[in-house]
Amino acid sequence: MDTKELLKKVRKIEIKTRRLSDHIFGGEYHSTFKGRGMTFSEVRQYQFGDDVRSIDWNVTARYNEPYVKVFEEERELTMMLMVDVSGSEFFGTKNQFKNEIVTEISATLAFSALQNNDKVGVILFSDRVELFIPPKKGKTHVLRIIRELLEFTPQSNKTDIGEALKYLTNVMKKKAIVFVLSDFIADNYEKTLKITGNKHDVTGIRVYDEREEEIPNLGMVQMMDAESGVVELINTQSKKVRNSYTEFYRERVNYFKESFTKSGCGVLDCRVDESYVKKLLGYFKRRG
């Protein structure tokens, strides 16, 4: 992708997702994800109805009349976007690939955080951490994140969600809002997720294509595993073959939902041909 085409794509995504974050998600994001706590703002004279426990006795003694401490919510938060860039994300039978929807969702979340003056960081992962962009504020930073999501080429096509979660735990010492975006056709990450969920506010967003849910009867078909690169001739006429694949797929989906739920994390499903806007908004409202 040349620079001109890349900038055009970045601009297109910025216009679409920023409008969504400004007019739809900004308020919902603010009410859903609270600040780390209360921080001291100022002192003022005591008013009838104030909590006596908030009286500042040093200032009261100095002015010989009651003063109270005023606190406000510490709003600044850090959002981490953990994005699966493995080979299976480059699949789609409708208008867009999974990775394109993932990019739009990530941009929408990033602009929502930007609107609330929060920091945003990114971890792109396959079976290893491919790229870590430390959390920062600002539009320029968010646009850099979008550029990376659009043009980044991973070194590996495989997936290891547990490895990415371990990395997050090591680099993020303070609590963060974490969105893990993947198709979650993986397993063996529940133990690490529990540790991450105890420290951070984690939501898993599963982006999938309806054609992944089952194999249609198309006769003998040559298929390639997007992550291993292995090509095999598959007899899709065989009911046993189709049922075996469907069972495998459902096991992965159930593992995703059960692992995240047991770990106290949020769960969200987004099919590529459905409105992720409605899904995100509904999720924010349920959480708010």
What is the per-residue DSSP string for 92-105? Answer: -SSSS-HHHHHHHH
C-alpha span between 45 and 268 (Å, rounded): 47
Q: Which residues pair with 38 in a beta bridge?
A: 73
Torsion sign, CA atoms 163, 164, 166, 167: positive
Q: pLDDT at position 107, please?
A: 92
Question: What number of CA atoms fall less than 13 Å from residue 280's CA on the CB side?
Answer: 25
CA distance 287 to 92: 30
Question: Quick one: average pLDDT of 238-261?
Answer: 93
**Residue 186's pLDDT band (boundaries 50, 70, 90)?**
very high
For residue range 51-88, list pLDDT tens digits in order.
888 899 998 998 999 988 876 555 578 999 999 999 88
pLDDT exceeds 70 at position 9: yes
d(CA 181, CA 162) in angstroms, rounded, equals 13
Helix (H) or strand (E) run with residue 58 in it: helix 57-63
Mean per-residue pLDDT, 249-270: 96
Rg, the chain, Cα only: 23
Q: Looking at residue 114, what is its pLDDT?
A: 85
Res. 38 pLDDT band, cuts 50 70 90: low
Q: Which residues, at least 6 apart from 231, have a Cβ–Cβ distance to it below 8 Å?
A: 222, 223, 224, 225
- Position 27 pLDDT exceeds 80: no
Q: What percent of the chain has pLDDT over 90?
A: 48
Q: Find the mean pLDDT for residues 87-98.
A: 75
Name the band, by pLDDT with cuts 50, 70 and 90, for residue 92.
Answer: low
pLDDT higher than 60, residue 164: yes
Q: Is the pLDDT of residue 286 over 70?
A: yes
Q: Which SS3 state, helix, strand or coil, does residue 60 take?
A: helix
pLDDT digits (tens, 9 = 90+) for 121-149: 999 999 999 999 999 999 999 999 999 99
Is 188 a residue whose pLDDT tops 90? yes
Mean pLDDT, the chain, rounded, equals 86
Return the pLDDT at 71.
64
To which residue do tokens 């308020």 refer? 27
The pLDDT of 24-37, averaged and rounded, is: 60
Domains and CATH numbers, the chain: 3-32+75-287 (3.40.50.410), 37-74 (no CATH)
- Per-residue pLDDT band for 192 (boundaries 50, 70, 90) equals very high
